[in-house]
Structure 1
Amino acid sequence: MTSTEQELPAVNSSAEIPEFATEEEFIEFWQTHSIGPGLIEAGRNDPEVWEVLNRIAPRQRPRQPRQPKATHVTTLRLDEDMEKRLKHVAELKKVPYQTLLKQFVGERLYEEEKRLGVI
């Protein structure tokens, strides 16, 4: 990190990020501001904030938070229409479609466990 980067004002919450009319305004803002720890923490819990962080220059972009639990690869076959719909919804929510699918499975599993009295 250069001394110039250290002098940039830090943005610590999404409320400090203005609305941008153009991509150029977005770029200009982030050339004169840096990511503060509060914004990184907000991004860990908010997919919309994380999407903003991912758009910022790589020199400022934080690493994706690590999953606390080990994950396992599972193959799931979806028909073409369902996959397109899933990707469309994920795009609207600004999250990767596999992340959205995992959220859907987790939410539905929780509901089923409640219904069965497991939890």
Structure 2
Amino acid sequence: MIREDRFLISRRPYAIDLGSLRTAKKDRRDGSSFYFGRINAVWFRRKQGVTVACVGTLWDFQDTEPADGTEFVTRHDDGRYGGDCDGRWDGENYWGAQKLDVIEAHLAVLRPMLANYPAIPDGYNGWWKF
């Protein structure tokens, strides 16, 4: 991924919580290993002409363990799957989790995010694109 200073929704950028990286070492059948990593992210998209705010994760398989979130995202070069959206807010409707505490946590991020479009939410680093 490449970090950009300027927000352009057409480039499908992500703001990333660099401190949220989680990795797990996995073994291949040939005896070698790789690391599966996930990192929290938020992003804006346009859906049927309406701007929506999304919260979720980005994931990647990497041959060596990344030292931190910055190394993980700079090595992450396959954006064909995009982010895994866990919650989405369009200013009127929420889509995502079914548990009330998770919905409330998502909306605590998504409501101010959409209200302050296109500002980067507190605690996130952006904008990153593939």
TM-score class normalised by the smaller sequence? under 0.3
Higher strand share: 2
TM-score relative to the length of structure 2: 0.20
Bigger relative contact order (CA 8 A; separation at least 6): 2
TM-score relative to the length of structure 1: 0.21
Higher helix share: 1
Find the structure with the greater CA-based Rg: 1
